Chains A and B, each alone.
Chain A
Amino acid sequence: MGREVSESCIDSLLTEMVASYCNQFYSNTPELAARRIEAIGYQVGHQLSERYTMDRPRFTDHLEAIKFICKDFWSELFKKQIDNLKTNHRGTFVLQDNKFRWLSRISGDPSVDNGTQDPESKAAQAMSMYLYFPCGIIRGALSNLGIPCAVSADISSLPACEYNWILRPCCFSIKYAF
């Protein structure tokens, strides 16, 4: 009986959220904007994890909770699973999504370039603002499952596809106290 929302609404909402926090509310302090966006994601992840763990048996250890995030949680949010999960067995997991849905419609614009900063890093900085929200979602979900952690994300750069952001894998790294 769930109601549905069109995906373009979600895309617009996320774009506008990043734009308002970066350009209006905290225009001089991008770190604060990032923290606020991540805090919004934390609450959303907290509530979503309640809903998506409803009909499941309880998790026995941390690995099962991370696998739940990679498979069921990611499929509910992004209609696909995480493509690659790596761990160093000492409290760090790296989740790799090769085609992150919320970035799939963002284009890197090579024309906006005033020459003082490398366009690659400017674009990377702009892109990273869009990743704070999903980081917050993951952190909120894991905290609700009993695993306090720190989550960061980055988009790896491949020299071959410079401005083609769609093809770059997006890596979320989760660090928790081992």
Chain B
Amino acid sequence: MIVCVAVVGHQNNPLYIQSFTEADDALKLHHIVHCSLDVVDERVNNPKKSGLTLNETFLGLLYPTENYKVYGYLTNTKVKFILVTTDLDVRDADVRNFFRRFHAAYVDAVSNPFHVPGKRITSRTFAERVSNIVKSFGLSSAG
């Protein structure tokens, strides 16, 4: 189950953070997302050590904490998408698919002429699309 998704700009400024749990641990999730930014930078600057090809957008599993798994995705415009999930057996293809759809929703949100680049994304349509993607992620990996 996905507990949190986040969009972080190229100056590590948060553009969108949304948690999907009932519990009141939003601060802990923000902290996890913040820590994962360092891992993203490390992966991007040391491609040989992490075994990735230099120019892939999907960064894979960033690091597992005690309850959560954190996945990362870096776009061409240096915007980072972070996904925090509690699922233990998540297929790589599912996460890639999730990020692809999330990227499409992000591009549509940013193309809004009233959106100021660098500020938080306040579009309700974007929030709805993201929650739809999150819901269907849970369904596809369960089925």
A residues with CB within 8 A of B: 43, 46-47, 49-51, 53-54, 56-60, 144-146
Contact = CB atoms under 8 A, between A and B. Distances in A.
Interface string B2-24: 00000000100000000000000
B74 interface: yes
Interface stretch (B26-34, B88-96, B110-118): B110-118
Grouping DSSP codes into helix (H, G, I), strand (E, B) and loop, the B interface class, with mixed when no group exceeds half, is loop
Q: How large is the interface on B (under 10, 10 to 19, 20 to 34, 35 or more residues)?
A: 20 to 34
Contacts, number: 48
Nearest to A141: B77
B110 A53 contact: no
A72 to B, nearest CB: 11
A144 B77 contact: yes
Given A46-B117, A49-B77, A146-B78, A54 B55 contact: no
Interface centre among A43, A47, A145 (most CB of B within 10 A): A47
Contacts of B103: 54
Interface string B56-77: 1100000000000000001111
A144 B111 CA distance: 13
A58 B117 contact: no
A50 B77 contact: yes
B54 interface: yes
Contacts of B110: 47, 50
B54 A53 contact: no
Interface in B37-64: 53-57
A59 B74 CA distance: 12
Given A43-B113, A60-B55, A54 B74 contact: no
B111 A53 contact: no
B106 to A, nearest CB: 8
Contacts of A43: 113, 117
Interface in B103-131: 103-104, 106-107, 110-111, 113, 117
B117 A51 contact: no
Contacts of A146: 10, 77-78
A153 to B, nearest CB: 23
